[in-house]
Amino acid sequence: MAIRAVHLLRDGIPFSETTEGKIGPITLDPDLGWRATENYQERLTETTRGGTRYDVYRSQKRHGFRQFGNLQSPKPKLLVIGDSFTHATAVSDNKTYYALAGEMLGMEVFAYGAGGYGTLQEYLILDRYVDEIKPDLILWQFCINDFINNDNALEQASLLNNNGLTRPYWVNGSVAHLSPKPRGKQLREWINHHSRFLYFIVSRIDRLRAVTTTASVETFIEAEGSGHGGFRHAVEVTDELMGRVRARVGTTPIVAFSCANVAPYSDGLALISAHYGIEYWNDVPDMVRQALDRGDDVQASDEHWNEQGHQLVASMLVKHMKARGAVVARHQYNAVR
């Protein structure tokens, strides 16, 4: 009852709601696994990693997009797709990297992210909405955990990148909905849909195991590099999925960056991007890393970017956008000057 009271007062989730699978800014979904909750808004106080408190207003609009621009705008349309770094729950709507970049570049922005998303889920979002938006440019936000989340066996072996939710995986050329925790699948499914208290408990147990273990699969991948068999398979799956992204959007240009540079993940993302003519900017996370090394307070308490971190990322993206030349919309609106 206490947890439901908090959800009611903080998140506006009805006290008796149990069947929709709504967990704050995400909602369980039979096809996507989960999705960003549509027409969701929240005011809260966040804390930087350095301990500074700041106010946040975050909202999710049409289809759950964090930013859904004007479809009739003459400006060039930028479609941004990513995971928790694009979901950006630790910053206000106008402080996200894509809101800042879009304002500086004069582009109409459409941005969708959901925490924990893998490449297949991101492709499914693209497939649903790309024809409605008709973007002139697509910005793809990778993260190093994409490879883990794209392979069920790797995710089962991960204590760091496993949220326990059933998700779609690309298996032998088709979509398969599998649990990353198969031994407790039925119980987990019941908890996810019906008991917010038990969800709170099991999610905290997962987090505790993640911070106390040294035996998660990521440790072995980073030690063995590209020679790790499971990682090689995940690279193949991710490559196939990005091939489907390229086929779906045709000649629409795609640019990409990752949330971090860590071998062998970043090397895999660079190779996959080159394979499909995606311009990959591997220096974007380096600016955040350099700021952290200087002692700058650029992360929220959960180590995602705070407002200052988003500003750094936006500045790098704008630099790259301007370097690649003017983006001209179908109505001859010159966005980058």
Q: Which CATH superfamily is domain 2-323 in?
A: SGNH hydrolase (3.40.50.1110)
pTM: 0.86
Alpha-carbon span 246 to 252, nearest angstrom: 8
Give how far Cα 230 sits from Cα of 221, 250, 263, Å.
8, 30, 15
Give how far Cα 42 sits from Cα of 25, 55, 57, 67, 204, Å.
9, 11, 6, 15, 22
Sign (positive/negative) of CA torsion 42, 32, 206, 293?
Answer: negative
Q: Which residues pair with 59 in a beta bridge?
A: 41
* Token pair listed for 281: 């900017």
* The pLDDT value given to residue 65: 98
Residue 326 DSSP class: -
pLDDT along the chain (337 residues), means of 10: 74 58 82 95 94 96 97 96 97 98 96 97 98 97 97 94 93 95 64 68 63 77 95 98 98 97 96 97 96 97 96 97 63 36
Q: Which residues pair with 82 in a beta bridge?
A: 113
299 close to 313: Cβ distance less than 8 angstroms = no
179 close to 185: Cβ distance less than 8 angstroms = yes
* The pLDDT value given to residue 213: 61
Q: How many CA atoms lie within 13 A of 236 on its CB side?
A: 9
Alpha-carbon span 82 to 164, nearest angstrom: 20
Residue among 110, 111, 123 at smallest CA distance from 32 = 123
* The pLDDT value given to residue 63: 97
The side-by-side arrangement of strands in the sheet containing 22-23 is: 22-23, 26-29, 33-36
* The pLDDT value given to residue 2: 84
* The pLDDT value given to residue 332: 37
* The pLDDT value given to residue 1: 81
Domain boundaries defined on the chain = 2-323
Residues 6+ apart with CB under 8 A from 227: none
